[in-house]
């Protein structure tokens, strides 16, 4: 069934978009991530303008992280204090991100920026995750200790001032790195159309030593708020949010996520991380190839307004 | 000799006037099949038909053979054409040209090749053919059109052609009788909305003898148009509604799939 997308300005097959939403939802439910880093590229490959894809996926991630956050809240797996501190940075980062997005769009380099940041971010994070998962797997096979946490070890981050107690996570930590992480995630989220969960979760675990019991729930709250904020800002400044596209994605996404979550529980943690690492890496490489090979057409046209 | 030069000029001008005056002898009467095309969500392109006839009067030379050129121009907009180049191993947008107030849709139809209709000079003056249509570019501080084989101009025309938005067909106009003609105006699915101007030019013996114009309008209707307009005009409300929709979907999912 063909449907005309009002903002993207192209007709698409509803079932294709629905299936994409469900597939990404499945993956996101399985790994406990938003899935924006998969959704945005898929939409771009289907032919939707990168700018519209980024702006519309923001609202799609808001929906999936909200349903996730509700269930984590019921299980008391969210640290509200940590979430609020992260958000103070996240809000600022998102605003900066949308501003950068608008600036790059006017310079005509937005598509390049989106593609290169995907390449850099995804190949790095993907390779790290893959490597980490592989090591954990080998260690488990050798029968060694699986834990990567070294309690008691202090890095420079723990020596920063403005310390604060985060009760539910049972950590005592400076607010500076927390705000900075929120800012970075908010920024890349707005520019790249990703929730940033797949970067935020490792950062919270390895850098801030947030216990795994509260990490995913808290990261979902940050994702939820920054993505709602990003949706609003993209709608107000760039008018690029396609609500029809977003709705189809949401419906597919939240449904797929439920089945993904069930599948995820059947797979071991190390395998899961290894798979996620591979997936992230693959998307990064796909973008790299796109940049390096000679494009079919060297010229592109874009309307710059003034219709009438 | 020097004194006679103005005289020659005057007589030349008079001659031109006399030659041009028979142009009043023909009149064009035209009509399009539909003056208001509505684009619905499942619109997949349409073809309008333009009908017309050449009206003659007593001064019209008998057995004159006519050529006809129809130019359809959609709403105008500013557009940028960018060229990718290889820098540091990757392909990035480097150079760009801005096209100012160029038609978003442009179709040129005639009954036979433009070269057979008029001399290159007339073709240029009357903007016959995509190569002769004025496409204003901003070149530094100046506004000008460039030669037809300019890389940016030809890429621009080629890309618009690929989308069916620019077209040139030199056999699209058919004369049903020596004075009655028709042509189809194809409008693809991604046709821009707005007002379309149709200019009809009648040529005889390589010169323009009559011209007229008409117009039609393309409007989008329904939900899609409502969404697009709201997004543009009430960005804040639109964002709020979209964000609310996201939260509702998430909330409903958490209820529907609640396990405990």
Say yes or no: B123 and B234 in one domain: no
Q: Which residue has the tokens 């040209």?
A: B97
Same domain, B200 and B117: yes
B61 and B177 assigned to the same domain: yes
Confidence check on the interface: ipTM exceeds 0.85, yes or no = no
More confident residue, B242 or A141: B242
Residue burial B118-147, b: 16+ Cβ < 10 Å; e: rest: beeebbeebbbbbbbbebbbeeeeeeebee
Question: In this structure, is residue B35 part of a structural domain?
Answer: yes
B196 - beta bridge partners? B216
User: Is B3 inside a domain boundary?
Assistant: no
- Evaluate whether residue B206 is within a structural domain: yes
Alpha-carbon distance A116 to A187, whole Å? 15
Chain B nearest-CA residue for A259: B257
- Four-CA torsion A284, A290, A291, A296, nearest 10 degrees: -170
CB contact under 8 A, A304 and B224: no
> What pLDDT, on the 0 to 100 scale, is given for residue A308?
34
Q: Could you tell me the pTM of the whole model? A: 0.69
**Looking at the complex, does the CB of residue B219 fall below 8 Å from at least one CB of chain A?**
no
Tell if the CB–CB gap between A108 and B81 is shorter than 8 Å: no
Question: B191 is written with which tokens?
Answer: 């046709």
Query: C-alpha distances in angstroms, B140 versus B137, B143, B200?
Result: 9, 8, 34
Low-confidence ranges of chain A (pLDDT < 50): 149-152, 306-308
What is the C-alpha to C-alpha distance for residues B260 and B252, in angstroms, rounded to an integer? Answer: 15
Could you tell me the residue ranges of all domains in chain A?
Answer: 2-143+155-292
Asked if residue B11 belongs to a domain, the reply is no
Write out the two tokens for A186: 């908010």
Least confident of A4-8, B152-156, B215-219: A4-8
Pairing relation of β-strands B106-110 and B166-169? parallel
Query: In chain B, what residues touch A233 (CB-CB under 8 Å)?
Result: 239
The total domain count for chain B is 2
Please give the mean pLDDT across all residues of chain B: 81
| CA distance, residue B114 to nearest chain A CA (Å) | 28
Specify whether B126 is located in the same domain as B225: no
Residue B124 has pLDDT above 50, yes or no: yes
Give which of A128, A136, A137, A123 is closest to A280, Cα–Cα: A123
Interface of B with A in 15-74 (CB under 8 A): 41-44
Task: Indicate whether B170 and B190 sit together in one domain.
Answer: yes
**Residue B200: predicted pLDDT:** 92
The residues that bridge with B26 in the sheet, in sequence order, are B56
Query: Phi and psi for B90 in degrees, rounded to 5?
Result: -120, 160
**B9 lies in some domain:** no
B150 and B46 together in one domain: yes
With b for 16 or more beta-carbon neighbours within 10 A and e for fewer, the A164-179 pattern comes to eebebbebebbbebbb
Task: Tell me which of B149 and A187 has the higher pLDDT.
Answer: A187
Using CB atoms, pick whichever of A7, A10, A303 lies closest to residue B228: A7
| B98 in A contact zone (CB under 8 Å) | yes
B7 pLDDT higher than 80 = no
B159-208 tens-digit pLDDT: 888 888 899 988 889 999 888 999 999 888 778 888 999 999 998 888 88
When pLDDT is averaged across residues B41-45 and rounded to a whole number, the result is: 71
> Exposure string (b/e) for A232-251, b if CB count within 10 Å is 16 or more?
bbbbbbbbbbbbbbbbbbbb
From chain B residues 145-164, the ones with a CB under 8 A of any chain A CB are 152, 155-156, 158-160
CB of B254 within 8 Å of a chain A CB? The answer is: yes
Start-to-end CA distance of chain A, whole Å, equals 32
Q: Provide the pLDDT for residue B16.
A: 45
A32: alpha, beta or left? (left if phi > 0; alpha if psi -120 to 50) = left
pLDDT of residue A290: 77
pLDDT at A157: 65
Indicate whether B164 and B226 sit together in one domain. no
Q: Would you say residue B4 lies in a domain?
A: no
- Pick from B250, B251, B257, B259 the residue to mutate for testing the A interface (most A CBs within 10 Å): B250
B251 touches chain A (CB under 8 A): yes
Q: Are residues B127 and B229 in the same domain?
A: no
Contacts of B231 in chain A (CB under 8 A): 6-7, 235, 239, 241, 243
Q: Do B186 and B233 share a domain, yes or no?
A: no
Q: Are residues B176 and B50 part of one domain?
A: yes
Q: What is the DSSP string of A136-165?
A: HHHHHHHT-------TT---GGGG-SSEEE
Taking the C-alpha atoms of residue B138 and residue B100, their distance in angstroms, rounded to an integer, is: 7
- Is the residue at B121 inside a domain? yes
Which of B84, B242, B250 shows the shortest C-beta gap to A254?
B250
CB contact under 8 A, B90 and A10: no
- % of residues, chain B, pLDDT over 70: 88
Q: What is the DSSP letter of A206?
A: I
Do the domain assignments include residue B17?
Answer: no
Residue listed under structure tokens 């790059």: A104
3-state secondary structure of A187: helix
Is B77 within 8 Å of A298 when comparing Cβ atoms?
no
Q: How far is CA B85 from the centre of its chain?
A: 30
| Residue A122, beta-bridge partner list | none
Residues B123 and B227 grouped into a single domain: no
Q: How far is A250 from chain B (nearest CA, A)?
A: 7
Q: Which residues of B touch A302 (CB under 8 A)?
A: 79-80, 82
Shared-domain flag, residues B122 and B190? yes
Q: Print the domain residue range for B232.
A: 221-251
- Whether residues B239 and A236 touch (CB distance < 8 A) is answered with yes
Which backbone phi and psi does B91 adopt, to 5 degrees? Answer: -90, 115
- Interface touch A63/B98, C-beta < 8 Å: no
pLDDT digits (tens, 9 = 90+) for A164-214: 777 777 777 788 888 888 899 888 887 877 777 778 888 888 788 887 778
């Amino acid at each position: 069934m063909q449907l005309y997308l009002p903002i993207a300005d192209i007709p698409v097959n509803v079932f294709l978009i629905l299936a994409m939403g469900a597939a990404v939802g499945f993956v996101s439910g399985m790994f406990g991530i938003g899935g924006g880093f998969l959704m945005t590229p898929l939409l771009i490959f289907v032919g939707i303008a990168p700018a519209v894809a980024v702006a519309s996926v923001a609202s799609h991630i808001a929906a999936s992280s909200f349903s996730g956050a509700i269930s984590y809240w019921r299980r008391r797996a969210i640290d509200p204090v940590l979430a609020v501190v992260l958000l103070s940075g996240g809000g600022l980062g998102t605003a900066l991100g949308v501003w950068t997005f608008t600036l790059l769009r006017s310079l005509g380099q937005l598509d390049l920026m989106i593609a290169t940041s995907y390449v850099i971010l995804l190949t790095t994070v993907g390779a790290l995750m893959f490597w980490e998962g592989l090591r954990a797997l080998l260690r488990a096979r050798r029968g060694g200790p699986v834990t990567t946490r070294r309690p008691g070890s202090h890095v420079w981050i723990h020596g920063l001032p403005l310390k604060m107690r985060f009760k539910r996570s049972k950590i005592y930590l400076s607010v500076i790195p927390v705000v900075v992480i929120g800012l970075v995630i908010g920024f890349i989220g707005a520019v790249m159309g990703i929730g940033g969960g797949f970067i935020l979760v490792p950062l919270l675990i390895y850098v801030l030593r947030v216990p795994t019991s509260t990490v995913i729930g808290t990261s979902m709250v940050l994702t939820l708020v920054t993505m709602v904020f990003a949706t609003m800002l993209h709608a107000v400044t760039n008018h690029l949010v396609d609500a029809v596209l977003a709705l189809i994605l949401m419906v597919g996404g939240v449904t797929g996520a439920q089945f993904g979550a069930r599948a995820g529980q059947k797979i071991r943690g190390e395998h899961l991380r290894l798979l996620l690492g591979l997936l992230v890496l693959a998307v990064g490489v796909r973008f790299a190839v796109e940049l390096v090979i000679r494009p079919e057409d060297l010229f592109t046209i874009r309307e710059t307004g003034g219709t009438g | 000799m020097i004194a006679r030069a103005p005289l020659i000029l005057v007589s030349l001008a008079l001659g031109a006037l006399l030659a041009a005056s028979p142009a009043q002898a023909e009149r064009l009467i035209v009509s399009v099949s539909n003056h208001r095309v509505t684009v619905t969500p499942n619109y997949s392109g349409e073809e309008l038909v333009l009908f017309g006839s050449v009206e003659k009067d007593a001064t019209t030379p008998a057995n004159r053979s006519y050529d006809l050129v129809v130019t359809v121009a959609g709403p105008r907009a500013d557009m940028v054409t960018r060229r990718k180049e290889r820098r540091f191993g990757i392909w990035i947008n480097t150079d760009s040209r801005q096209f100012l107030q160029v038609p978003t849709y442009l179709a040129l139809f005639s009954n036979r090749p433009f070269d057979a209709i008029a001399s290159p000079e007339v073709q240029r003056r009357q903007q016959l053919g995509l190569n002769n249509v004025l496409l204003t570019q901003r070149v530094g501080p100046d506004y000008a059109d460039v030669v037809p084989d300019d890389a940016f101009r030809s890429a621009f025309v080629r890309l618009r052609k690929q989308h069916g938005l620019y077209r040139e067909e030199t056999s699209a106009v058919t004369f049903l009788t020596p004075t009655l003609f028709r042509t189809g105006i194809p409008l693809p699915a991604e046709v821009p909305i707005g007002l379309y101007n149709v200019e009809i030019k009648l040529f005889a013996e390589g010169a323009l003898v009559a011209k007229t114009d008409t117009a039609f309008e393309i409007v989008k209707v329904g939900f899609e148009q409502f969404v697009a307009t709201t997004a543009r005009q009430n960005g804040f409300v639109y964002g709020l509604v979209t964000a609310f929709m996201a939260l509702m979907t998430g909330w409903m999912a958490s209820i529907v799939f609640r396990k405990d």
